[in-house]
A = this chain, B = another copy of it.
Amino acid sequence: MQPSDSLREQMIAQYDAMSPQLQQAARYVLEHPEEVALVSMREVARLAGVQPATMTRLAKFLGLPGYDELRAHYAAALRQGGDGFAAKVRQRVDGGSETVASDIAIHMLQGLSAQLAKLCEPDSLRRLEATADRLRSARKVYVLGLRSSHAIAWHFHYVMTLLGERSVHLDGPGGTGGDALIRATPEDVMLVISIKPYATGTLELAQLAKEKGVGIVSITDSEVSPLVALSEQAIFCPTESDSFFHTLTPALAVSEVLCSLLAEFDRPKTLEALQQADDHLSHLNTWRSPTLSATLGQ
């Protein structure tokens, strides 16, 4: 709204060329941009003390097809101000004409970029930190994520394995995934990852764990996710995408941040663990070329 608001600048520049009524309308719009976005044209006109038609005339004077475009302009500005950056994901390309592949790709990537930026909000950060704390205090960390969330769960577990031996991935062939919970205790914590639609298996296992006194923390997609009721801590990450599928990219980012916070907490221990892992994997000829510890990640 503030920077490079072309309409705003145009109104200021052409203000002197306007008729008195137009000036009055423009002045009100300049001083109350939110109202333009939030209330009807007639109401804005009433507040500005001009005729409704004057608002239409103002829009046309500015070179717009009609008042709707003026409103749309200020609505877009409010969206960005309102919730930070995140608003790019909406509005499919309705340009009627055939959409090119690179258009789709750009929209997706920019949307994802905005969603990650939104995770920087104070509330999200607090949740990230609280969740990391809770995980840190656990004796063992059970990681649960079924179906699409499996990728996230697996990755979290993989990284945690490089860091130590506290992580247990609840997954396995023949439906034995939940067996590892047999010896779970209240000293343990379970990290559950699930987004809509929520897999029943995930909820059942989490419920079971909770009944055994295991603390639950979760990565999920909404305040009204069924996981919230089970969890001591929850991190919410957006999953909307303009494609057919929900996106897991923000969830993976959250998982990586959690891993980092856990690793950073005790740097010496982390470095030692990574060195160990490096030695081990080197002996197995895992990597194509010699690898520094600092390069770990695969």
A39: shortest Cβ distance to chain B, in Å?
Answer: 8
Contact of A122 (CB < 8 Å), options: B91, B109, B148: B91
A28: shortest Cβ distance to chain B, in Å?
Answer: 10
Question: Complex: how many Å from CA A78 to CA B79?
Answer: 9
A129: shortest Cβ distance to chain B, in Å?
Answer: 5
Contact of A148 (CB < 8 Å), options: B158, B253, B274: B158
Give per-residue flags for A94-135: 1 if the beta carbon is below 8 A from chain B beta carbons, else 0.
000001011011101110111011011111011011001000
Contact between A249 and B245, CB atoms less than 8 A apart: no
Q: Is A4 on the interface with B (CB-CB < 8 A)? A: no
A227: shortest Cβ distance to chain B, in Å?
Answer: 10
In the complex, the count of this chain's copies comes to: 2
Chain B residues contacting A151 (CB-CB under 8 Å) are 151-152, 154-155, 158, 252
Decide yes or no: A196 and B92 within 8 Å by CB, A109-B120, A288-B226 being known contacts: no
Contact of A253 (CB < 8 Å), options: B109, B287, B291: B109
Contact between B263 and A245, CB atoms less than 8 A apart: yes
Contact between A129 and B108, CB atoms less than 8 A apart: no
Give per-residue flags for A59-87: 1 if the beta carbon is below 8 A from chain B beta carbons, else 0.
00000000000000001001101111101
Contact between B81 and A105, CB atoms less than 8 A apart: no
Residue from A194, A249, A296 with most neighbouring chain B CB atoms (10 Å): A249
A211: shortest Cβ distance to chain B, in Å?
Answer: 18
- A contact patch SS: helix
Q: Is A248 on the interface with B (CB-CB < 8 A)? A: yes
Question: Complex: how many Å from CA A245 to CA B259?
Answer: 9
Q: How many residues of A contact B (CB 8 A)?
A: 113
Question: Complex: how many Å from CA A163 to CA B291?
Answer: 38
Interface residues of A in 152-196 (CB under 8 A from B): 152, 154-155, 158-159, 162, 173, 194-196
Contact between A289 and B252, CB atoms less than 8 A apart: no
Contact between B122 and A260, CB atoms less than 8 A apart: no
Contact between A245 and B154, CB atoms less than 8 A apart: no
Q: Is A285 on the interface with B (CB-CB < 8 A)? A: yes
Contact of A87 (CB < 8 Å), options: B34, B91, B108, B198: B34
Residue of B nearest to A287 (CB): B197
A298: shortest Cβ distance to chain B, in Å?
Answer: 4
Contact between A101 and B132, CB atoms less than 8 A apart: yes
Contact between B85 and A198, CB atoms less than 8 A apart: no
Contact between B105 and A129, CB atoms less than 8 A apart: yes
Given A105-B257, A198-B298, output 19 extra A-B contacts at Cβ < 8 Å.
Answer: A30-B224, A34-B83, A38-B78, A78-B78, A84-B88, A101-B264, A106-B125, A110-B116, A148-B298, A159-B245, A173-B173, A197-B295, A197-B296, A199-B286, A203-B288, A244-B274, A245-B263, A246-B298, A249-B252
